[in-house]
Chain A
Amino acid sequence: AQKVTQAQTEISVVEKEDVTLDCVYETRDTTYYLFWYKQPPSGELVFLIRRNSFDEQNEISGRYSWNFQKSTSSFNFTITASQVVDSAVYFCALRNSNSGYALNFGKGTSLLVTP
């Protein structure tokens, strides 16, 4: 079965705090891709990162960082020094080899950053 679990439904932090969004996945594929998307209040879906199963190096992009651990099937997303503009719903997704390579999304984590 292909499944993505985002256990945190809602998170609320104060500006400048660090916050980690959890993502746990299940797949039987040996080659797979994981993604994070951001959906701000305006509603569009913004691609943040793609990671393939052979690359376990952590990635940092400005205040964003991602920790990929195959041993725990997790692909967590950390925002350092959060800002109000980070308020959004964040989706983790797994490329699904069973559906024409569609993305299988988690249910999302709603992040609210208050001043």
Chain B
Amino acid sequence: NAGVTQTPKFQVLKTGQSMTLQCAQDMNHEYMSWYRQDPGMGLRLIHYSVGAGITDQGEVPNGYNVSRSTTEDFPLRLLSAAPSQTSVYFCASSPNRGTGELFFGEGSRLTVL
């Protein structure tokens, strides 16, 4: 019963470094998405995917890239980390778009110095 698995759980980067947050789900969900959570801001959508090979931007996409080569995996890439990207990142998946219930990973806490 793995569900949605995110790695790493914690990461510290220096400004300008790049890294990839991994997200994998074993529920054969079509829909996957990445959110960031900042104090007092709730969760904001970064990127989403409605199926393998299809991705699109959410509310705050700048500085992030995604790809969806398989149904299971949806990695989030930070191209050149900035202190403004210090946040908690959540990956989520959903079995279909109809009901929209999201299943979340445990989150990844990223600090950019």
A binds B: yes
Number of chain A interface residues as a range: 20 to 34
**B interface residues, tally (CB under 8 Å):** 28
**Chain A residues, CB < 8 A from B43:** 91, 103, 105
Check A35 for interface membership: any CB of B closer than 8 A.
Answer: yes
**Chain B residues, CB < 8 A from A108:** 42
Report whether B56 and A100 are in contact in the complex, using a CB–CB cutoff of 8 Å: yes
Check A55 for interface membership: any CB of B closer than 8 A.
Answer: no
What's the nearest-Cβ distance from chain A to residue B100, in Å? 4
What's the nearest-Cβ distance from chain A to residue B7, in Å? 15
**Distance in angstroms between the alpha carbons of A105 and B36 in the assembled complex:** 11
**Distance in angstroms between the alpha carbons of A100 and B31 in the assembled complex:** 9
Report whether A100 and B106 are in contact in the complex, using a CB–CB cutoff of 8 Å: no
Interface residues of A, Cβ cutoff 8 Å to B: 9, 33, 35, 43-45, 47, 50, 52, 91, 95, 99-108
